[in-house]
Chain A
């Protein structure tokens, strides 16, 4: 293990010592697929994006839960059906809340 560690660090060190260093402006710029960069990379996103993302996750997960339930529906029966209806009702409460709070409106 010591040999492996020494080899890894050693080759990095040797590379650092022997490689040529010729920095110029274009080389130091951040790489953006060949385009010249415009503006700072750290932009503050509007909080609306986060709300949309959260809503998406909620309903996405709901759909994911529905699939295994639907596949095994004939085996697990009425109990699971009631459970799933409860789950959807709980999500519906959240949906109504988000709707009334104007979470779906982009322009205010």
Chain B
């Protein structure tokens, strides 16, 4: 084997492996009748990819692709959300009557796209990964074909997503026109050398990037699609979508804004501060008015994008590490909350309205206790992981001199307590109105166990995770 295979292809080993697993799932779907086997293969694939992550290092394909600690940390987040969402899926899809094998194939392809995004060191690679991820997720959002709401969700997501992609492409082409390169490192060094910071075209390109990525992370005012799509999509996909693509969006924000446009930090941080405040305010305040729990969690995920943006705005290694830390914690607590929603979906019962949760502590005490933990964690109450995530984020923002912004964020967290704890109040202080059944799904129960444990363990012993995130970004941007 020539040298080139070893040096180039080994760097993209995780992505290649996952793509091979995705294709294998698509092909095996043609011969295997029992779809839970495909779920098992997907999880085995994720495990193999996780193992292969430790063997990748360095650049590949003419510096278009990089495997560094930053990318690997994000890939870990994607794999966690993939495995958890697959665990939820099998039973849920049977209940909805859409248990097709393509579902798992598309999920794996979406994850490949996210991994490419996290490892992109060229704007073209960013776009490539973004499209692979988005197109797969558009289809997944409309997977319940007989449901009008699901189709509506897919169509809305596709239309607005295609629009955001166009913004991203325009930004890339403007950047290329100014600097003559699409390489992220190349753009950064060109801008530093020539001092183009006040160039209006470059400012326009920055705005276009913020719009495109703001859409992917569902930050206000680019959040319009989120509640409808989250409500209409199959619940495991909502769980996957609220974590994976969002984290992927943050990964490319880190690469493009922090590295390539590092010399424009004043311009984009001003924009992001506005986005962050609007997201926290609108997300938390609108969530109060929701009666559907999936919509409520959609608005809450908008608000969480606002919190995580604080880490980007801080523009420091500390801020970046706390943002990564927060996204991983968010993956556990948000998918945990969606797992509870999924597990209550049975043949006769949807259990998506808040009033369905009345008296859950009497009928299913353990499930109610876990939901309590996830709600506390999303609010940010110790000793859960959500508190730790917010703590590091806010510390980083204060160290960077954004004390007033942190005060706003803390106030907004206080508002969020109202609607998160309302769920807890329904579960614990009301009499059960309906008899809810738990779906007999070992996968979903295992996912509940994993997320519940993770939220508590990270909440009690937080040092390991934040140290991991700090170690991951040592070689970032080099």
A residues neighboring B (CB under 8 Å): 78-79, 82, 90, 93, 96-97, 100-101
Contacts and interface: CB of A to CB of B under 8 A. Distances in A.
B2 A96 contact: no
B26 A97 contact: yes
B30 A93 contact: no
Interface in B1-38: 2, 4-5, 23, 26-27, 30
Given A78-B2, A79-B2, A79-B4, A100 B30 contact: yes
Nearest to A101: B30
A11 to B, nearest CB: 35
A100 B30 CA distance: 7
A93 B23 CA distance: 7
Interface residues of B, number: 7
A97 B30 contact: yes
Main secondary structure of the interface of A (DSSP, over half): helix
Contacts of A82: 5
Interface of B: 2, 4-5, 23, 26-27, 30
A93 B26 contact: yes
A93 B21 CA distance: 12
A78 B27 CA distance: 28
Contacts of B2: 78-79
B27 A96 contact: yes
Contacts of A90: 23
Contacts of A96: 27, 30
B27 A93 contact: yes
Contacts of A93: 23, 26-27
Nearest to B19: A90
Contacts of B5: 79, 82
A82 B26 CA distance: 23
16 contacts: A78-B2, A79-B2, A79-B4, A79-B5, A82-B5, A90-B23, A93-B23, A93-B26, A93-B27, A96-B27, A96-B30, A97-B26, A97-B27, A97-B30, A100-B30, A101-B30
B435 to A, nearest CB: 41
A108 to B, nearest CB: 18
